[in-house]
Structure 1
């Protein structure tokens, strides 16, 4: 239900083209890292031809990069000859993820929220024009689950967590216009705020009330309520906790009615310290 960046070869994590001339100019370690980043988009593995086409570099170049990654344990080949992330990469990634203090401290809260609402709970941070999910807890077995994943991304302007964090980063409509820049914001649904003035009005309201929501702005049929988390700074949110729910099952009004309960669960992590 909730979208994350697909392996469509369109943009890299910084919004630049992953194909064509730009990636063709990659040299040395940059080329190896580009192959590693692309490989991470294919959990079921990718063939050499496929990676060569998407990355836009010569096949021998991509093959050498894959060889270097395999020697380091960062890539491997499955029984079908497709390249996958290696065990060493996964070991490092999970060790780093589990060591994140905010993840460790917030996971019990996310579990409680998922059980309480029967919906998906997230912890996400802002990264440029996108939010990145750092932690996720699905509802109990048998309930419908969203397809969001830890490490997955969504447009900041279309999500409750994104708008909440943007509210603390962008203080005026001029700053919102500068943040948008020359590239139009993606309209995920008919309700997505893509205009600078409309988006700023949402951000200003979110900061004033201390929470944000998206009312089916990222995906039709899914709404979200988000609250700030002060895990690493006493005054600036490090990220946001959200409950993402099917609108037909848990209304936005039901989520906002439980604000005090959610804030109580967050405790000191949900309050700025001045």
Structure 2
């Protein structure tokens, strides 16, 4: 699920306001970045009017931000006047992703899992209340594929990778309650665990069995099994790898039955060293 943020276009302390003398600094770095992030939501391009409404800033401010991004090659404007991410942005993003050490080390594991099960394999890390997908391999051509994306996010409490990593972060019910805080947990499906007590029971079970599961808790019809990966530390997982499967095709029980095979495919990356 995508979450759209609204930016109010307010002026930060010390920043030139709309009538300031330094016209080149009117948009400010925060608003330039807000425009850049919003452009990523429109692969087919977006007009200035629509972008202005989405950002929630004055049209001149958004237009100046677009100008700064175009000069840097991070945004382009097509013949219809619509804006999109520029080639330089895509070049930097893909070049960085391809040389990222964790991506290089994880991809063979994900390819092996996707080939073995005919399902999507992910590598994700914990970031606060969410997980971020750092790598993904889809099943062979012809199979139904999931819509998850590299860089995409999901709530930690709804996912197998999130609960697996939270099980190491939270060691008591009180810590789970503090982690939830004043913001209620989002209910993605009727099976989502949304209370501290429910989540804590699942974290305890996850820690005891050594793997995480998502029994259609994040998306109806999709289940998942996750195991830790040790890329940067011999004892603390850097993230988790998962097999995300269509429930009608690969039930959760089938993934659990194949647990030892999955562990074997992870190889040394899936083993802590004490």
Give the TM-score normalised by structure 1.
0.91
**SS state of the match for residue 132, structure 2?**
strand
**SS state of the match for residue 124, structure 1?**
strand
**Equivalence for 1:116:** 116
Are 1:24 and 2:10 counterparts? yes
Whether the 8 Å CA contact 1:158–1:193 is kept in 2: the answer is yes
User: When the two structures are aligned, how many residues end up with a matched partner?
Assistant: 260
**Equivalence for 2:193:** 193
Q: Distance in 2 between matches of 1:230 and 1:132?
A: 17
User: What pairs with 1:154-193 in structure 2 (closer than 5 Å)?
Assistant: 154-193=154-193
**SS state of the match for residue 227, structure 1?**
strand
- TM-superposition CA deviations, 1:95-137 (whole Å, max 9, x none): 1111221111111111111111111111111111111111111
Q: Distance in 1 between matches of 2:187 and 2:176?
A: 16
1:192 to partner: Cα distance: 0.3
Name which structure has the greater RCO, CA cutoff 8 Å, separation 6+. Answer: 1
What is the aligned counterpart of 2:2 among 2, 5, 20?
Answer: 5
**SS state of the match for residue 218, structure 2?**
strand
Whether the 8 Å CA contact 2:7–2:34 is kept in 1: the answer is no
- TM-superposition CA deviations, 1:227-248 (whole Å, max 9, x none): 0011111221111110011111
1:42 to partner: Cα distance: 2.0
Q: Distance in 2 between matches of 1:165 and 1:42?
A: 32
* Larger gyration radius, structure 1 or structure 2: 2
1:80 to partner: Cα distance: 2.6
Cα RMSD after superposing both structures = 1.3
**SS state of the match for residue 218, structure 1?**
coil
Q: Distance in 1 between matches of 2:70 and 2:149?
A: 25
1:138 to partner: Cα distance: 0.9
Give the TM-score normalised by structure 2.
0.91
Q: Distance in 1 between matches of 2:82 and 2:175?
A: 45
**SS state of the match for residue 24, structure 1?**
coil
1:78 to partner: Cα distance: 2.4
**Equivalence for 1:230:** 230
After superposing on structure 2, the runs of 4+ consecutive aligned residues of structure 1 that deviate more than 6 Å are none
1:209 to partner: Cα distance: 1.5
User: What pairs with 1:40-51 in structure 2 (closer than 5 Å)?
Assistant: 40-51=40-51
Whether the 8 Å CA contact 1:24–1:56 is kept in 2: the answer is no
Q: Distance in 2 between matches of 1:270 and 1:19?
A: 41
Q: Distance in 2 between matches of 1:241 and 1:75?
A: 33
Q: Distance in 1 between matches of 2:92 and 2:31?
A: 21
1:211 to partner: Cα distance: 0.5
**Equivalence for 2:102:** 102
Q: Distance in 1 between matches of 2:232 and 2:80?
A: 44
- TM-superposition CA deviations, 1:11-46 (whole Å, max 9, x none): 3xxxxxx244xx434551111111112212222222
Are 1:39 and 2:33 counterparts? no
